[in-house]
Amino acid sequence: MSERLSAIGAAGNRLAGELSGAGPACLAVHGLGDGSYVWRDLAGLVGDRRRLIRPDLRGHGDSDWVADAAYGVADHRADLLTLLEDLEVGSVVVIGHSLGARLAIELALARPDRVRGLCLLDYAPRANPAALERLHGDLAAGFAGAYPTIATYEAALLARRPMLTAETARWIAENALRLLPTGDYRLKTDPRVVASRGPGAPSDAIETRLAAIRCPTLVVRGARSAMVSPLAMEATTAAIPGARSAVTPRAGHALLTENGAAVAALCEDFIAETLSRLPA
């Protein structure tokens, strides 16, 4: 059974999300514009065997928007470290998608003593700039106006993302939208998060720091991803000592919602293998 997460972030901002299970802790971090709901397949697969922590990043889902639009990598990293302290979690396997994978890397570099393993989903420092621009453009367009019904947004998702099923599009719409007093709906994500990750966002040469990662790492790519090419996946895997890679079929960049069951199986196998290497 899942329960709602309620915690305080590094800047006094409220963090929401979901918690489930017991046992070894796993932290699942969603990507830009998403929310904790994207981990439903993983949560369903691991059941009560893992303590699965699924926060909404600041400015996303039901977490607070921050007044100063502090949505940079360092801000999210500080929130996640504060969250782990608040939950009294000693160490975790971190699973991250896209921006969440970047944050997983940041956690492993900042606190190698606390990160047991990394599962990086459709992320590479050498992401396709055109695909990244399209993603930001789609998000900005989604924030531009209100939707009269949930079905309106569901239809927009199906038109833009042909690999989604109707059921998944409906589920995304039900979780991604907030009902307004006017009776319309808007996306829960703060529109300013896109500006924080856009072309003008600061770069800190993360690729040169990958060699410092010392935990088991799995790099996963959606087979049809326009964001991460096979060469980019190979380069990322080669840059991390001991890392290996895998490909999720029938999925693009949004692999958690396009083939979530396959991704969940890969993640659970990696988590089980990683935990089996640890001293009893």
What would the pLDDT profile of 26-52 be if each residue is shown by its tens digit?
A: 999 999 999 999 999 999 999 999 999
Q: Which run of H or E residues covers position 143?
A: helix 129-143
- List 7's β-bridge partners, or say none: 15
Number of domains in the chain: 1
> Which run of H or of E encompasses 94?
strand 92-97
- Token pair of 273, please? 């293998």
Residue 88: how many other CB atoms lie within 10 Å: 7
Bridge partner list, 115:
92
Query: What pLDDT digit, counting tens, does each position of 46-63 carry?
Result: 999 999 999 999 999 999
Q: Which residues touch 91 (CB under 8 Å, ≥6 apart)?
A: 25, 113, 114, 115, 116
Task: Give the tokens for residue 146.
Answer: 């209100």
59 in a structural domain: yes
Q: What gap in Å lies between CA 230 and CA 238, rounded to an integer?
A: 12
pTM score, whole prediction: 0.96
* Structure confidence at residue 202 (pLDDT): 45
Cα–Cα distance measured from residue 186 to residue 189, given in angstroms and rounded to the nearest whole number = 9
Residue of 35, 30, 36, 258 lying closest to 161 (CA atoms): 258
In angstroms, rounded to a whole number, what is the distance separating the alpha carbons of residues 143 and 137? Answer: 10
Per the rule left: phi > 0, alpha: psi between -120 and 50, beta: everything else, 151 is: alpha
Is 48 inside a domain boundary? yes
SS3 256: helix
Q: What is the CATH number of the domain that holds 94?
A: 3.40.50.1820
The tokens of 203 are what?
A: 């770069």
Q: Name the phi and psi angles at 95, rounded to 5.
A: -115, 125
Which tokens sit at 240? Answer: 């991390």
Tens digit of pLDDT for each residue in 215-228?
A: 999 999 999 999 99
* pLDDT above 90: residue 204: no
Spatial separation of the C-alpha atoms in residues 195 and 191, rounded to whole Å: 8
Percent above pLDDT 90 for the chain: 89
Cα(103)–Cα(252) distance, rounded to whole angstroms?
20
Is position 187 within any domain?
no
The answer to the question of residue 134 being in a domain is no
The verdict on residue 170 lying in a domain is no
Q: 166 in a domain, yes or no?
A: no
Residue 86 domain flag: yes
Domain hosting 217: range is 2-128+204-276
